[in-house]
A and B are shown apart, each in its own frame.
Chain A
Amino acid sequence: MHSRTLPYLLILPVTVFLGVFFLYPFVLVAQQAFTTGAGFTFDNFTKVTTHWKFPTSFKNTLLLAAAVVPVQLALALLMATMVTNMKKGRDLVLYVWTIPLGISDLAAGIIWLAIFEQSGFLNSMMQGLGFIEQPTNLISYQSPMLVFVAIALAEIWRATAIMLVILVAGIGLIPKEYYEAAEVFGAGPWKRFTRITLPLLRPSLSTALVLRVILAFEVFAVVQALGGTLFPVLMGETYKYQFELLNGGAAAAIALIILVISIAATLVILRVLRVPKGASI
């Protein structure tokens, strides 16, 4: 076998597979969004964006991402630096902190439902401490703020681990000598963090943020399990159009809208956190 053709033979299966199941469906989804059976049209978009629920679900999706992602970033950075300085028990702590990585969003929603439902653990705790006499329904349309908090907490709980893993791997790539040199020159821990860790971590930070933000726009099962219809989000609307209203064109239109905001967010993150040319570890 020639080593000229061998690599192409080896990557052929993946390329064909992604062509059929990744690139082609994207062409289809675009096609589906811009047609209603009678040629090219924006009807699907007009239809979904003028629906009374659209502004709410759009706003909810963005608000949730805006509330969750910064907290996750801060938490993941804190955890990653804590682990880096750890001598004993590092593996155990890392295992515990990365457990949520393997947990599905649906399971995470159910787990936090156990805490927030009416006869759940939060009410039980509050009653035990004497704050309330009777359990109140925490997740209802009368308390939209609490619904939001519950969903945000579940998201933070579930999806911080993915950022943590990326950041820990990134910190591992920073040469230890930089820290030693900084220490010799009298830089404290905070200064070392802001002057060495943060700038050199930029590639990892952008990977982590891009991945996380995209996933945040796709939030679906957590919301379904916790808030149900109380907190409409874009992905939930897509699901509803596809299933309950059996309108594939409209579902595809929302899908494209999610895609567009994902790409926009990705570009912004890559631009803000870009590494200057020629500068690398």
Chain B
Amino acid sequence: MADISQSRSSGRFVYMSGVVLLCAWVLVPLYFLLINTLSSPEAVNAFPKSFIPEFDLGSLTFFANFAGMLSALKNSIFVAAITMILSIVLGAPAGYALSRFEFRGKETFRFLILLTRAFPLPLLALPLAVMFIRTGIDDTIFGLALIHTTLALPFSVLITFSLFSGIPIELEEAAWTLGCTRLTAFTKVILPLVLPGITASAIFAFVISWNEVFAAAVLTIENRTLTAFLLQNLDTSPLHLKFAGGFILVVPALVFIFAVRKYLFAMWGIANR
């Protein structure tokens, strides 16, 4: 008996240390980035490194004062915001249609949505660069947001599909019998219920756009986003600028993943079926 409980508790110990180790694997590199960001430029370039941040805002100030950086940051936010709005406005109705209606061509439509996920989407940026020049929206925030919407749309359709599927149709039918039209039943009954989920899906679209590097670098020249700006200056920028920039890239991601964590799993569960 003693043997069994001993092997069980040692198994428990291995299991717990595995969990802790894997958490450290994720967090320690992030901590290193934090140290570098909160150190003076001199400390960032010095050797050996301290393993405790000195809480100096020198690197971040340098980042903020670097020519073009703040406008790149602003561009990133705008592109991501437009992407977020477009992908919800376009995607949510389709998600609703998939969850509530049986119609001819439904499977083909779902296939098209899944197909977009099976292709290297950033490559679209190459032909679109030409197309945008012809239509005069080259090197604009809006043009880039259109591509990022293509990246985010499949996700927003699938997430909203799973959200609407989670709400019983009886609720809607009850509203109809009580005198609601299809539209008012949707706005008064369904919308309040799915709003948190829609927000999560919007945030997800924001992160997809915020993080995208390749299309942003190909499609913007004057109006660079933060990722494109950092990429372009990788060869020439000093270390403390890279680390501060990397940190600014990471922070919203941390917050956003926390905000959408409940919905991450639901959406992939449904996507498998």
Please list the residues of chain A having a beta carbon within 8 angstroms of any beta carbon in chain B. 1, 3-4, 6-8, 10-11, 13-15, 17-18, 21-22, 24-26, 28-29, 31-32, 78-79, 82, 85-86, 91, 93-107, 110-115, 117-121, 123-124, 127-128, 135, 157, 165-166, 168-170, 172-173, 203-204, 207, 210-211, 214, 217-218, 220-221, 224-225, 228, 235, 238-239, 242-243, 248, 251-252, 255, 258-259, 262-263, 266
- Alpha-carbon distance A117/B48, docked complex (angstroms): 12
Q: Is B23's CB under 8 angstroms from A7's CB? A: no
- Sample of 15 more A-B contacts, CB < 8 Å, known A22-B121, A102-B207, A110-B249: A1-B182, A8-B103, A11-B109, A13-B90, A13-B93, A18-B112, A18-B113, A28-B127, A82-B19, A102-B252, A111-B33, A124-B48, A172-B269, A255-B120, A259-B123
Main secondary structure of the interface of B (DSSP, over half): helix
B46 adjacent to chain A (CB < 8 Å): yes
B123 touches A258 (CB 8 A): yes
Task: Mark the stretch among B62-70, B167-175, B253-261 that contacts chain A.
Answer: B253-261
Output the nearest chain B residue to A105 by Cβ-Cβ distance. Answer: B213
Q: Are B235 and A120 in contact (CB under 8 A)?
A: no
- Roughly how many angstroms separate A79 CA and B22 CA in the complex, as a whole number? 8
Q: How far is the CA of A32 from the CA of B126 in the complex (A)?
A: 9
Which residues on the A side are within 8 Å of B211 (C-beta)?
102-107
Within 8 Å by CB of A28, from B89, B130, B254, lies: B130
Asked if A101 and B235 sit within 8 Å, CB to CB, the answer is no
Q: Which residues of B contact A97 (CB under 8 A)?
A: 22-23, 26
A-B interface contact total, Cβ < 8 Å:
272
Are A3 and B101 touching (Cβ within 8 A)?
A: yes
CB pair A211 B18 closer than 8 Å: no
B240 → chain A closest CB, angstroms: 11
A220 to B27, CA, bound (A): 23
Asked if B272 and A207 make an inter-chain contact with CB atoms under 8 angstroms apart, the answer reads yes
For the complex, is B128 an interface residue (Cβ under 8 Å from A)?
A: yes
B216 vs chain A, min Cβ distance (A):
10
A102 in complex: contacting residue of B112, B129, B147, B257, CB < 8 Å = B257
* Complex interface: chain B residues within 8 A of A238 (CB): 123, 126
Given the complex of chains A and B, what is the CA–CA distance between A28 and B129 in angstroms? 11
Which single residue of chain A is at the shortest CB-CB distance from B43? A119
Give the interface residue-count category, chain B: 35 or more
When A168-B265, A266-B118 are in contact, do A104 and B90 touch as well, CB less than 8 Å?
no
CB under 8 Å from chain A, chain B span 200-228: 207, 210-214, 217-218, 227
Residues of chain B at the chain A interface (Cβ within 8 Å):
15, 18-19, 22-23, 25-27, 29-30, 32-33, 36, 45-49, 51, 89-91, 93-94, 96-98, 100-101, 103, 105-106, 109, 112-113, 116-124, 126-131, 146-147, 149-150, 153, 157, 182, 207, 210-214, 217-218, 227, 230-231, 234-235, 239, 242-243, 245-246, 249-250, 252-254, 256-258, 261, 264-269, 271-273
Query: What A residues does B213 contact at CB under 8 A?
Result: 104-106, 220-221
Residue A101 contacts which of B90, B146, B257 (CB distance < 8 angstroms)?
A: B257
Q: Tell me the smallest distance from the CB of A113 to a CB of chain B, in Å.
A: 7
Could you tell me the distance between the alpha carbons of A79 and B269 in the complex, rounded to whole angstroms? 17
Shortest distance from the beta carbon of A79 to any chain B beta carbon, whole Å: 6
